[in-house]
Amino acid sequence: MPTKREEEVTVQIDDAEIMFRNFEGRKGKMNPEGDRNFCVVVPESEIENLQAQGWNVKFENPREEGDIPRAYVPIKLGYVFKPPRVVLVTSAGKTALTEDTVKLLDLAEFKKVDLIFRNHDYDFNGMLGRKAYLKTMVVTIFEDELERRYGLNDAETLDGGDD
């Protein structure tokens, strides 16, 4: 179990699989309004290591009998103290996503995701724990022929432009 400490601990996952996306922070049955988060599937070779470091590794319920449950870590996006750096990569180039435009990732079809998450260790009324917060994420999305030809996949065109 982690102890309360100030040092930053990071984990990098390349070619990450993302699930349960809520980059917008939509209110849901298990999600308060404004709580931006997603989960990253943990490679099987890293499960024990992350658990030993105190990360909150959870397991997905198998959909069918005989399925092996996938391990994942819930990750929050915090924009108050240490905002994450999120970059969208398309044929048109790289676009830094902001707190207002990161919601576009909820509907995007991911081609490749590389990310780093960092720790937030806490001691709340004697309960020690470690939460994961996104530090850096680079997302390459699939594009169709017209999106590539006309460069339609940047944050401004995806979000409908300036309001």
Q: Is residue 147 part of a domain?
A: yes
pTM (2 decimals)? Answer: 0.86
Taking a C-beta distance cutoff of 8 angstroms, is the pair 11, 55 a contact? yes
Determine, yes or no, domain membership for 4.
no
89 falls within a domain? yes
pLDDT digits (tens, 9 = 90+) for 80-107: 988 999 999 998 889 999 999 999 999 9
Residue 5 domain flag: no
Residue 3 in any domain: the answer is: no
Q: Both tokens of residue 37?
A: 């988060």
Give residue 129's domain range: 10-158
Closest alpha carbon to 131 in 29, 18, 63, 53: 53
CB environment 93-131: b (16+ within 10 A), e (fewer): eebebeeebbbbbeebeeeebbbbbbbbbeeeeeeeebb
Q: Decide: helix, strand or coil at residue 4.
A: coil
Number of domains the chain contains:
1
User: Regarding predicted confidence, which is higher, 158 or 46?
Assistant: 46
CATH classification of the domain holding 73: 2.40.50
The answer to whether residue 157 scores a pLDDT higher than 80 is no
Residue 108 lies in a domain: yes
For the cut 80, the answer to whether the pLDDT of residue 13 exceeds it is yes
